[in-house]
Amino acid sequence: MDPRAPHFVGIGGAGMSGLAKIYATRGARVSGSDAKESGTVAALRALGARIGIGHDAANLPADADCVVVSSAIRPENPELVAARERGLPVLHRADALAALMAGRRAIAVAGTHGKTTTTSMLAVALSALGLDPSYAIGGDLKEPGSNARHGAGEIFVAEADESDRSFHKYAPEVAIVLNVELDHHANYASLDAVFESFETFVSRVAPGGTLVVDADHPGSAELAERVATRAGRGDLSIVTVGEAEGARYRIRSITPRGMSSEVLVEADGEEIALTVNVPGRHYAHNAVATLAAGAALGVPAAELAKALAEYTGVGRRLQLKGTARGVQVIDSYAHHPTEIAADLAAIREGAAGSRVLVVFQPHLFSRTQQLGTEMGEALAKADAALVLDIYPAREDPVPGVTSEIIIEAARAAGGDARPVHEMAAVPSLIAELAREGDLVLTMGAGDVTALGPEILDRLAGVETD
């Protein structure tokens, strides 16, 4: 369906707010609810959205023609209950996004890690070239509300979430798969189940479409092999990127330049140089995937490479929050062991000789239960790590699963890991630990991001509540 008066439960979330913004821009009568006020909620209200704070059946307007939810919304939510009582259609956010993409040339960006960054790079570069794309991203580019846009151009770039299999709803012209790993353990019992899910996603690529994969990542490379041998998809073009010999977009060199990198790529016999304004090899790989995806839609890779210089990062992806007393505070969304290790390596490479202090908040009991040891081993690469209690998000506690799993693993690997049970204690602890020239990373997918400004205030000698 094409909603004209959609009601979004949890409208302030990263994914939901972007959809609400696009629907509002297209002229729909948008309403919604969220747990608290935020800059994102304010930005949506400025577009005309009617938003209630707190979840209550009274938030659902009489003229709503559907209710949009994410997998995080529980069945007993009062607005969802009211919608069912009124016989209103209930759409998953993926269905709402699929409706927005209909009729556009869609690029869907998937992978266990790197989706938000790569989607953002495409959005920025295509916009810089004047192509006026539409896009829906899982993070803000610059300010609240910048995670989505309704453009007049024919291209729609979207982040494709595998966590709940909702990316099976899309039928893009181009699909990017950056990597494939076991994660989201509440929904996937094994790596084979993850591969099956990604294969389903790829099977929905439009006839004559393109699959872009990172050949350096074992999971995405295996996915490409599985897809190549599948009967009935001979029409699908598979384009590889990476440092591996034989990659069609082969990365010849990555040269760190502080908090950026200079990357040299060889593609179809042509050498292309580009600047990536975030540090780390994984971000360089993401940038090269954008070149391949854009080229699949007819955008010259060399032009995209120049336009990529406009990309300066996205919120929570190694985002510099500020400097105080000679100490830089950087925010990282990393919450999976691979992401933790990659961001720590990027920071080490870009700021050689600096001490790295991490404030880590584990995300989800199920993830910690399955990957806590690997998280600890990755955190051992920091000079010191303060480990907070687990951020539960949508999950109930699991007996015996605590942050101690991570702390013990980090210590066993030779790291300095310390438990902190109260977030309010973190700014003072960091102020005591940090010295001039250090880098502090607030790391995790939960509310640890809010600590950055408080740490900066405490470093500067400003008392905070």
Catalytically annotated residues? 115-116, 159
What is the 8-class DSSP label of residue 58?
G
In whole angstroms, give the CA distance from residue 143 to residue 42: 12
The residue to which tokens 């100490």 are assigned: 327
| Distances 136 to 14, 118, 200, 413 between C-alpha atoms, Å | 9, 12, 21, 39
Residue where the block lists tokens 């291209």 = 155
State the number of CA atoms in the 13 A half-sphere of 282 facing the CB: 23
Rounded to whole angstroms, the Cα distance separating 411 from 434 reads: 20
- Which residues, at least 6 apart from 167, have a Cβ–Cβ distance to it below 8 Å? 94, 108, 110, 160, 161, 201
Of 199, 181, 175, whose CA–CA distance to 122 is shortest? 175
How many residues make up the chain in this entry?
465
Characterize 412-445 residue by residue with b for buried, 16 or more Cβ atoms within 10 angstroms of its Cβ, and e for exposed: eeebebeebeebeebbebbbebbeeebbbbbbbb
Torsion of CA 404, 409, 414, 420, to 10 degrees: -20
| Rounded distance between C-alpha atoms, residue 50 and residue 64, angstroms | 11
Cα angle value 332/147/360 (rounded, 5°): 15
Give the Cα separation of 413 and 374 in Å (integer): 10
Query: Helices 337-350 & 281-296, crossing angle to 10 degrees?
Result: 110
Residue partners of 438: CB distance under 8 A and separation at least 6:
326, 327, 328, 354, 355, 356, 357
Rounded to whole angstroms, the Cα distance separating 77 from 259 reads: 44
- Class of residue 131 by CB neighbours under 10 A (exposed 0-12, middle 13-18, buried 19+): middle
The amino acid occupying position 214 is D
CA distances from 312 to 119, 121, 140, 461 (A): 13, 9, 12, 30
213, containing H or E segment: strand 210-214
∠ Cα 139 153 92 (to 5°): 45
Residue given tokens 């209550």 in the structure block: 56
